Structure 1
Amino acid sequence: MNAVPEALPRTAGELRAAGYTPRPIAREIHENLLAALRDGRDAWPGIVGFSRTVLPQLERALLAGHDVVLLGERGQGKTRLLRTLAGLLDEWTPVIEGSELGEHPLDPITPASIRRAAELGDELPVAWRHRSERYTEKLATPDTSVGDLIGDVDPVKVAEGRSLGDPETIHFGLVPRAHRGIVAINELPDLAERIQVALLNVMEERDIQVRGYTLRLPLDVLLVATANPEDYTNRGRIITPLKDRFGAEIRTHYPLDVAAEMAVVRQEAELVAEVGEPLLEVLARFVRNLRESTVIDQRSGVSARFAVAAAETVAAAALRRSALTGEEPAVARPVDLDAVPAVLRGKIEFEPGEEGREVEHLVHLLRRAVAETARERFAGLDLRPLSEAVADGHLVATGERVPGRDVLAALPELPVLHEVAQRAGVSSDEPAGRIAAAIELALESLFLARRLAKDSDDTTTVYGE
């Protein structure tokens, strides 16, 4: 966050003279989104795969000033999308200095701020709040209370001598404190129904009620939420009046194609070693195969985080081999994919009756992804010279302790190897590990096509006839 610019007004009088006027949050987002669309600026940085589906719907909802609920399975980027909403707010907004709810200096709403504004007039001190401070997020949990969201009587203020009937004895909750900002509630169905009722007034009348007080605060908030459609539609965990108050219900989805899946992994994964495009494509296809498999519980979904974790696991296997062999740089190879099923099987829910066969299913789908990737990469390329070389006795060993140079040394000089590397996006003058990764992909594709044999133990894999 940048420092507050010195030129900004510091009193209510200066603010009024500069032409600042209160603007509702919905209007602020409406105008800033329109400006971004007209200027061709990306209003949704970091959001991949939604440009023709989810984002147009969300933009229409925001331009209409609607509260929004995003419906989608886990790991579809719902929370990340909501967090980008803060970028549609003004970078700096004026607030009454010291006010509990961040009220506009020219439009106070609490009794204390109204009193201060009347007493100080144009000398009312003004502070400035950055847009990142105007986005408030709450993970809904069953133990969330009305006091957490809306507010409750503050016993400390009562003990100080104030009357229980005094509105200033109230300790405000998360929603009022987000006045003139965005409130995001993740997993909204997990809120108890009586807690959901407390949000009705906030969404429709834009005010709050605390323990029967006649306090009515004209709150200005944009309420957005996420929900799993299974909870939302089948179990009925969101009460009907609350559903009715959301102006827009938008369905999210997993990446629609392999390229989008790879883009998500590239953006989100923190890789400790090189993972080339062919292996990223394998992992993207693997995740898509999981989402189409009948042995996987599709109601719980296969999160995009699975592909990210898989890429990080493959990179970690490559880094470990680099440490054991001294090979630099550390480059992931197809043999490193073997670490994925055993490490990540707990991140997926299987259908009943598949107990004990989880790794078997994952290995099968991973091999299918390798075959699909190799078929796409090596389409039209004759790999017979490679298979014949192996059949003639040039066995190729690979594994967690085998450096790339040993993989290459096991094979004679063949023109097809240069073509294989080129198809994988690797040139002949690059480090041995990168070339070996491409050769291994070709060898694995020949094994899956039953044109080579493969023998594996705990540490080593040997391709032969």
Structure 2
Amino acid sequence: MSQTPRPTTLGELRSNGHQHRTVKQELRDNLLSRLRAGQPAFPGIVGFDDTVLPELESALLAGHDLVLLGERGQGKTRLMRTIAGLLDDWSPVVHGCEINDDPIAPVCTRCRRLLAERGDELQVAWRHRSERYAEKLATPDTSVGDLVGDVDPVKVAQGRTLGDPETVHYGLVPRTNRGVFGLNELPDLAERIQVALFNVLEERDIQIRGYSLRLPLDLLLVASANPEDYTNRGRIITPLKDRFGAEIRTHYPLEVADETRLLTQEAGLVATVPEHLVEVVARLARALRESPSVDQRSGISARFGIAALEGVAATALRRSARAGEPEPVARAGDLPAVVPTLLGKVEFEMGEEGRERDVLSHLLRLAMAETFRERLAGLDLGGFTGLFAEGAVVETGELVPAVRLLEQVGTVSGLSKVLDRLGHGDDASPGVVASAVEFTLEGLHLTRRLQKDSVAGRTVYGA
């Protein structure tokens, strides 16, 4: 965080030229500044540049509350949190205010009273933009008190009357006043609770326990939801849906390059995973989204690919520890090892019961073969196939170190061109070279130019 601004009273704030702006005006101004400067408005968001982001930018410029509609793992929550990055670094609030009133234009009873009593001596505090975003996962047990507020019995016991607005304990929405509020999985919210959001979205006030507090809230409300044909647990009631200014559809990455970028950005890797293996995982996720064996209504989350990539890296790290390798580098043989751990992240069709692992393994082989053709198409691999012309074999596996694999292969004609195609130079480490060799051997097997036998974690090429 940058250094906290200096003004501590309303008088100092006025002398610094502070002007009151609503949250939506603030978001609009900062978004326009980034667009004019050619800066990314939503850093870290991948694959939405030509589809989702233009619609989102238009909605924010129009000052609309919005719903992000899409299947699981399409980055809806990430997008909501990124919107808050458009807020000012710091914003002034009335010191001690529960709903973060602007000192120049307070709305709650307490702050208006303090302004009348102290004038320019009203104390000012500062909030960083990271504190101006709140998020709530909508669950069936969420109450009106959680979102909007309720009467605080402790304040009543202190002598205040029930009609006193200061007896209210504010919920999450009022406490996010002058900020961005994200509501995840809105259809899961009970219909009677959704009704409580009517006034927040349209009239911008809240009602609690039979009396109305005229509390004009200043916030941007962003909700997320799954398509209705998948989320059968609930729905967004029509009057509430009508109060959102924009409904924006998200989607999975449309290009392999975008999927690869997303996986590389989000996965926390404990070992080196070469780019061609990241591409294999990306193609596997895309193949699952198109497979008739998979229930497409539930979708294949981006978390599937992230978990797969992290599992591959962990397998490489395990090999380096067991085999004494100085550098853990993932290889093609590490991919099948993570298939069993991924089964729980895929919803298969009813007719595929008992065949889940076979389906996943088959699609993995297709993804590997497609990546092999894409990366090494047209390359002369006679040097590799020539190794096996006289009955030689190459053994690899989960615990075979890179040095041992390279010793079996020896000097191979065309290896340098393979490394170039895979994005590696002549100074590639033994682990990276072994990964390239194993990927090439596996690709030759999948394109029916090389025999392979696999038993109990051991793989023999040329058998």
Q: What's the TM-score bracket when you normalise by the shorter of the two chains?
A: over 0.9
CA contact (8 A) 1:232 1:238 kept: no
Q: Cα deviation per residue 1:297-353 (whole Å; 9 max; x = unaligned)?
A: 111110111111111100000011101111121110001011121111101111112
Name the CA distance, whole Å, in 2 between partners of 1:303 and 1:212: 43
CA contact (8 A) 2:384 2:413 kept: no
Name the CA distance, whole Å, in 1 between partners of 2:340 and 2:210: 56
Q: Cα deviation per residue 1:147-191 (whole Å; 9 max; x = unaligned)?
A: 000000101111112111222111110111111111110111110
Q: Aligned to 2:114, what secondary structure does the other structure show?
A: helix
Aligned to 1:455: 453
| Counterpart AA for 1:246 | F
Name the CA distance, whole Å, in 2 between partners of 1:86 and 1:413: 55
Aligned to 1:390: 388
**Which residue of the other structure, out of 313, 316, 320, is the alignment partner of 1:315?**
313
Q: Cα deviation per residue 1:403-426 (whole Å; 9 max; x = unaligned)?
A: 112212112422122222222223
TM-score of the pair, normalised by structure 2: 0.97
Q: Cα deviation per residue 1:199-220 (whole Å; 9 max; x = unaligned)?
A: 0000000110101113210111
Q: Aligned to 2:341, what secondary structure does the other structure show?
A: helix
| Counterpart AA for 2:430 | A
Alignment of 1:444 with 2:450, yes or no, is no
Aligned to 1:95: 93
Name the CA distance, whole Å, in 2 between partners of 1:186 and 1:385: 55
Q: Cα deviation per residue 1:257-280 (whole Å; 9 max; x = unaligned)?
A: 110001001111111110001101
Alignment of 1:200 with 2:198, yes or no, is yes
Name the CA distance, whole Å, in 1 between partners of 2:230 and 2:345: 23
Correspondence list, 1:258-407, <5 A: 258-407=256-405
Q: Aligned to 1:93, what secondary structure does the other structure show?
A: strand
| Counterpart AA for 2:202 | E
Q: How many positions carry a matched residue from both structures? A: 463
Name the CA distance, whole Å, in 1 between partners of 2:88 and 2:133: 12
Runs of at least 5 residues in structure 1 that lack an aligned partner in the other structure: none
CA contact (8 A) 1:167 1:213 kept: no
Q: Aligned to 2:460, what secondary structure does the other structure show?
A: strand
Name the CA distance, whole Å, in 1 between partners of 2:288 and 2:242: 35
Q: Aligned to 1:214, what secondary structure does the other structure show?
A: strand
Name the CA distance, whole Å, in 1 between partners of 2:53 and 2:321: 44
**Which residue of the other structure, out of 111, 117, 120, is the alignment partner of 1:119?**
117
CA contact (8 A) 2:187 2:233 kept: no
Aligned to 2:102: 104
CA contact (8 A) 2:99 2:175 kept: yes
| Counterpart AA for 1:292 | E
Name the CA distance, whole Å, in 2 between partners of 1:339 and 1:233: 33
Shift of 1:236: 5.9
Q: Aligned to 2:68, what secondary structure does the other structure show?
A: strand
| Counterpart AA for 1:187 | E
| Counterpart AA for 1:459 | G
Name the CA distance, whole Å, in 2 between partners of 1:401 and 1:456: 14
TM-score of the pair, normalised by structure 1: 0.97
Aligned to 2:35: 37
| Counterpart AA for 1:165 | G
**Which residue of the other structure, out of 225, 228, 231, is the alignment partner of 1:230?**
228
Q: Cα deviation per residue 1:39-77 (whole Å; 9 max; x = unaligned)?
A: 111111111111111000000000000001001111111
Q: Aligned to 2:215, what secondary structure does the other structure show?
A: coil
Q: Give the alignment's Cα RMSD to 1 decimal.
A: 1.4
Aligned to 2:160: 162
CA contact (8 A) 2:229 2:297 kept: no
Aligned to 2:79: 81
Name the CA distance, whole Å, in 2 between partners of 1:457 and 1:150: 61
Q: Cα deviation per residue 1:64-109 (whole Å; 9 max; x = unaligned)?
A: 0000100111111111111111111111111100111110111111
Name the CA distance, whole Å, in 2 between partners of 1:412 and 1:90: 60
CA contact (8 A) 1:67 1:223 kept: yes
Name the CA distance, whole Å, in 2 between partners of 1:19 and 1:2: 20
Aligned to 2:144: 146
Shift of 1:235: 6.8
Q: Cα deviation per residue 1:219-266 (whole Å; 9 max; x = unaligned)?
A: 111111110013688776110000001100000111111100010011
Q: Aligned to 1:324, what secondary structure does the other structure show?
A: helix
Q: Cα deviation per residue 1:389-442 (whole Å; 9 max; x = unaligned)?
A: 223122110012211122121124221222222222233432222111111111
**Which residue of the other structure, out of 240, 243, 249, is the alignment partner of 2:241?**
243
CA contact (8 A) 1:275 1:331 kept: yes
- Amino-acid identity (%): 64
Alignment of 1:20 with 2:18, yes or no, is yes
Shift of 1:384: 3.1
Alignment of 1:55 with 2:53, yes or no, is yes
CA contact (8 A) 2:230 2:297 kept: no
Name the CA distance, whole Å, in 1 between partners of 2:385 and 2:254: 35
CA contact (8 A) 1:331 1:434 kept: yes
Name the CA distance, whole Å, in 2 between partners of 1:3 and 1:189: 41
Name the CA distance, whole Å, in 2 between partners of 1:248 and 1:458: 54
Alignment of 1:210 with 2:208, yes or no, is yes
| Counterpart AA for 1:173 | G
Q: Aligned to 1:209, what secondary structure does the other structure show?
A: strand
CA contact (8 A) 2:230 2:298 kept: no
| Counterpart AA for 2:2 | N
| Counterpart AA for 1:67 | D
Aligned to 1:5: 5
Q: Aligned to 1:127, what secondary structure does the other structure show?
A: strand
